[in-house]
Structure 1
Amino acid sequence: MIEVVQGNGPLVLGFPHTGTYVPPEIAARLNATGRTLADTDWHVERLYDGLVGDVTTVRTPVHRYVIDVNRAPDGESLYPGQNTTGLIPLTNFDGDPIWHEKETPDAAEVEARRVAYHAPYHAALTTEMERVRARHGFAVLYDCHSIRSRIPYLFDGVLPDLNIGTNGGATCAPGIETSVQDACAASGYTTVTNGRFKGGWTTRHYGRPDEGLHAIQMELAQSTYLAAEVPPWTYDDARATRLRATLRAILDTLSDWRP
């Protein structure tokens, strides 16, 4: 079920939250709020499509409400003390319950979903990172995300347009972080590094620069490419075209980076 496209370059793109597939037996247990799938990273795979050649991509079609592949498999919080959503979210990003009463997954079901959906995604991502590193001596994972720019439950005010996450610089070589920062700074968009989003479990798990494995997360504010951050989550061609130019510059820089 995991969708993999292999390239021969050093860059790997991860797409953990673009999927909208929910198995029917799980969908039946979601309440009306949950069934809207509002927390999808809408159209992110379209934004990045064709921007750089010879790139490897790894994507799960399964929605994050089934299980969030960008969370630690043991359920440990990425942001202790802050509002967030877990391995299997119980609420949406606004803090509203997404399951029918008494339909919250128990521990046994969490483990079953981890085995069925979380583990295969990371097995595929691990395989591709190792394949790329074997070819080049290093691999760069760029984890692709987007989120609404205003979510009071998760953060105050308005999110910057481009949010770079490297877990405080721990997940990649300094030159990778700097090159992405420079491309963002030249774009005209607002940007921050290691602000509210410092990199999810994927970035933190795979980012081991001492082993030649580098990882960086990009969290895009959806206002940069959607007509509006409400259903039906319409892709705005003009906004997206401008954003894609910046994303192309970022990916070109990462593809050309060498240790």
Structure 2
Amino acid sequence: MAGLPDNAFMIESSSQVTTAADDFSSVTPFEVRCGAEQRVPFVFSSPHSGRFYPPRFLALTKLDGNVIRRSEDCYVDELFGGAVALGAPLLAANFPRAYLDANREPWELDPRMFAEPVPPYCNIRSARVAGGLGTVPKLVGEGLDIYAGRLPLDEATGRIEALYKPFHETLKHLLMRTHARFGFAVLVDCHSMPTSIRVGDTGFRPDFIVGDRFGMSAAPALVERAVSLLSGMGYTVAHNKPYAGGFITEHYGRPARRLHALQVEVSRGLYMNERTFQKTAGFAPLADDLTRFCADLMSIPDHELGDLPVAAE
């Protein structure tokens, strides 16, 4: 698939769909954007920038087409798209976060959402489930319920089997292939955050937050380089607070095995109108800066990443 059209919000014309696979019968649920050859040991992912909202999902939700988008990492796949021309693959979800969250464990489900009991292997007590933000989210934006009533359990299992698992199988394959070719791999997991996000009690509103699971998912030199590059461009940067990285960063970051993972959050106020979801004049300059950031980050010498003791995992 060559990529989604430029319009930010798309609605499929046909409503004759009954399953998660059918919901995405006309649009690839995710795609790998890459050049003819991978030239760098970096992989980029954008699990929350999907903006295809199937009509069956819109019929299930009680929210309107604007409100349902409040959890979307709008245009993040485009902001980091310059990495592809630099020789790195970018895995981008086309399914929206409100429909399915790939930055969660596969079975973080809230049993209160479903008409039937959830399987016993589900993680029903995680902090993310408690906050309404499980694999199949309960809430969007500022704590708004997505659904008016309980869902059939098949809604969750269908989305996980048809979309979540293939997405992660693809991401794992990209990282393993990269590691095999270059001897190490770096995953940059790309996200956005509301402008209102503050750090601690200081009132500090960062432009970026770089997360490494408090030192567990990446070599310190990589984190320091990322923070330094963004700060050097004039941006304000926080480290791990309030976002240290989600499931993707935690699951794939294994520095002792020379698999490094960073989460990068960018403030939406830098590039879009958070009320109308339209790009602002800041979009193009920010995209240019992020392309330069990616190029400079990719130039980190292999020896600076080093080998960490296995216990660090």
Q: Give TM-score scaled by structure 2 length.
A: 0.74
Give the equivalent residue in structure 2 for 1:19: 50
Q: Percent identity?
A: 29
Matched, 1:234 2:282: no
Q: Does 1:95 align with 2:123?
A: no
Structure 2 unaligned regions, length at least 5? 1-27, 109-122, 306-313
1:59 is matched with which residue: 92, 114, 119? 92
How far apart are the structure 2 equivalents of 1:225 and 1:215? 25
1:69–1:118 contact (8 Å) kept in structure 2: yes
1:243 is paired with a residue whose SS is helix
**CA shift at 1:81, angstroms?**
10
Please say if 1:112 is aligned against 2:158.
yes
Q: Structure 1 stretch 170-179 or stretch 24-33: which is displaced more? A: 24-33
Q: Which residue of 2 aligns with 1:5?
A: 33
Contact kept? 1:224, 1:240, Cα under 8 Å? yes
The amino acid that maps onto 1:214 is H
Preserved CA contact (<8 Å) 1:84 1:93: no
**Are the counterparts in 2 of residues 93 and 151 from structure 1 also a CA contact under 8 Å?**
no
Structure 1 residue 246 displacement after superposition:
3.4
Runs of 4+ in 1 over 6 A off after TM superposition: none
Aligned to 1:194: 240
Distance in 2 of aligned mates of 1:141 and 1:78:
24
Q: Which has the higher contact order (CA 8 A, sep 6+)?
A: 1
What secondary structure is seen at the aligned counterpart in 2 of 1:38?
helix
User: Following the alignment from structure 2 to structure 1, what is the Cα–Cα distance between the partners of residues 128 and 78?
Assistant: 32
Corresponding residue pairs, total: 253
What do the CA deviations read for 1:221-254 (whole angstroms, capped 9, x no partner)? Answer: 101111x2112x11123x2233234323331233
Say whether residues 1:247 and 2:295 are aligned partners.
no
Q: Distance in 2 between matches of 1:49 and 1:78?
A: 33
Length-normalised TM-score, structure 1: 0.88
SS in 2 for 1:9: coil
**How many angstroms does 1:108 deviate by?**
3.6
| Partner secondary structure for residue 109 of structure 1 | helix
In the alignment, the residues of structure 2 paired with residue 66 and residue 82 of structure 1 have an alpha-carbon distance, to the nearest angstrom, of 18
Q: Which amino acid aligns with 1:73?
A: P
Match of 2:269 among 203, 210, 223: 223
RMSD: 2.5
